[in-house]
A = this chain, B = another copy of it.
């Protein structure tokens, strides 16, 4: 058996390593365009920022190890320029001397990844309009960033853009992030990351949202970025981070089927429409675990696992890729944003019916020092309670809760299952009712009809307010800010002041985070009121409004 693998990093190297473990006798050829296989793409921003000091650390499995341990025939600085499926060969160009040769295969694995998107803008080819995908990019950015300072512009506020911005700040740069959308981290829902906007600003990052780079102009070796909004920024260098596109041209040219967004269409064994050709990693189109629809999610975990599965299938193991659910995490200075499954915006766009809840727990018991807050959002089917997605933003423990819910999603669980999950508890690690249980309690209450909820978006900003709003927090909390037109009836007094609440109007109860509002709504429901709790309370209200909190 002779296997040729195009691309020797996350998906490709994993496939190669697994193939060798399964078969000592195979010939395994890895063809990699770059100078090194198997490097840590995900570490590149932190190398630029100095958190990772030694460049060698980025070489996860150096070529010598791939030769020595795995007996892989790894050819770096070599590019596949053509796939000939009829003859089962690929054309390879040695980038060091420009020579080309053919290599035959029995099975071909395409793991060419995805390239940073470079739109056709004036001046985009300026040498200081950089991108960050591989070692050479990292070297260039390192050279540009270290030991100097001034202004840098990052175009795009996805996770790579945000990581680069943070790391340039760490090197002393004055960074502006230009983003077309009205929020950073587009996969997350806006209200979840609104609070991170100020957090970034607090660390010195200038956010230029709802704007984009229109053209780039040389200025004494640096770059002037002209913005769509009309302004411009003089920068020493620019980093383009506005998403990636599958490097599928090679495959498409060979008649391998690609999806509408360019990803190579694969089955659950990572085979393409040619059963001898597999595609794995960022270049592949896969199935979304939640929707069952085609998707492309360029992340390292799926790439690694897909590579392993392709090798498994070649050697008769019954592995199946279950699809990708978009579990992702990103550090934003000392905060963390994580998510799994569908976002609300995707559900909305697809017209899927969904319900959602917010909770604002701490990572561990409040009575133990050092507890850090987070906001956890759970999206689910309003009838069955099937979990559709979750997002969390905050300090410690965010990744843990999303990991548990990611597991629950893959298990096909409902929110009622989350009520019963039995997680680690000691005061420095969690809660007797873990945030995951708590989200399960709240969502299950909504599904069962015990906790009707209303959401910030559905509360009109217009005055006069139609429904009756009661704020069940303390007068002190109320005084610091509240919903327009709200009446303050602290929870403790509610039962004795029912006569102040009109029976002929729809009532919205709310508190700071949702718990007291829920209790108030339970009291009122049982007294015959038409009442709903504002999910997530005033905190979610603030998070939704971001910078534009209406003054109460």
B367 touches A58 (CB 8 A): yes
Q: Please tell me if A383 contacts chain B, counting CB pairs below 8 Å.
A: no
Measured CA separation A512–B51 after assembly (Å): 28
Whether A403 contacts B406 in the complex (CB less than 8 A), given A322-B420, A411-B411, comes out as: no
Whether A46 contacts B399 in the complex (CB less than 8 A), given A24-B526, A419-B305, comes out as: no
Q: Please tell me if A365 contacts chain B, counting CB pairs below 8 Å.
A: yes
Measured CA separation A317–B451 after assembly (Å): 13
Interface segment, A213-221, A328-336, A452-460? Answer: A328-336
> A367 to chain B: which residues have CB within 8 Å?
40, 43, 52, 57-58, 60
* A301, A369, A433, A492 pick with most chain B CB within 10 angstroms: A301
List residues of A (397-412) whose CB comes within 8 Å of B's CBs.
399-400, 402-404, 406-408, 410-411
A385 to chain B, nearest CB (A): 12
List residues of A (314-367) whose CB comes within 8 Å of B's CBs.
317, 319, 321-322, 324-325, 327-331, 336, 338, 340, 365-367
**How many interface residues does A have (CB within 8 Å)?**
88
Q: Please tell me if A116 contacts chain B, counting CB pairs below 8 Å.
A: no
Interface segment, A78-86, A374-382, A424-432? Answer: A424-432
Measured CA separation A60–B301 after assembly (Å): 40
A402 to chain B, nearest CB (A): 6
B42 touches A427 (CB 8 A): yes
> A322 to chain B: which residues have CB within 8 Å?
420
Whether A403 contacts B427 in the complex (CB less than 8 A), given A43-B365, A365-B40, A368-B51, comes out as: no
B52 touches A437 (CB 8 A): no
> A68 to chain B: which residues have CB within 8 Å?
491-492
> A22 to chain B: which residues have CB within 8 Å?
450, 522
B433 touches A304 (CB 8 A): yes
Q: Please tell me if A497 contacts chain B, counting CB pairs below 8 Å.
A: no
Q: Please tell me if A413 contacts chain B, counting CB pairs below 8 Å.
A: yes
Q: Please tell me if A552 contacts chain B, counting CB pairs below 8 Å.
A: no
Whether A328 contacts B424 in the complex (CB less than 8 A), given A43-B368, A368-B51, comes out as: yes
Whether A404 contacts B407 in the complex (CB less than 8 A), given A24-B526, A368-B46, A422-B340, comes out as: yes
Measured CA separation A276–B58 after assembly (Å): 64
> A51 to chain B: which residues have CB within 8 Å?
368-369
A301 touches B331 (CB 8 A): no
A512 to chain B, nearest CB (A): 14
Q: Please tell me if A96 contacts chain B, counting CB pairs below 8 Å.
A: no
A42 touches B432 (CB 8 A): yes
Taking Cβ atoms with an 8 Å cutoff, the residues of A that contact B are 10, 21-25, 40, 42-43, 46, 51-52, 57-58, 60, 68-69, 71, 159, 289, 299-305, 308, 317, 319, 321-322, 324-325, 327-331, 336, 338, 340, 365-369, 399-400, 402-404, 406-408, 410-411, 413, 417, 419-430, 432-434, 437, 441, 448, 450, 491-492, 495, 516, 518-519, 522-523, 526-527
Given contacts A22-B522, A410-B421, 18 further A-B contacts (CB under 8 A): A21-B518, A25-B526, A52-B369, A58-B367, A299-B425, A301-B422, A301-B432, A319-B419, A327-B424, A328-B425, A331-B429, A338-B424, A340-B424, A402-B424, A403-B404, A403-B434, A404-B404, A406-B422
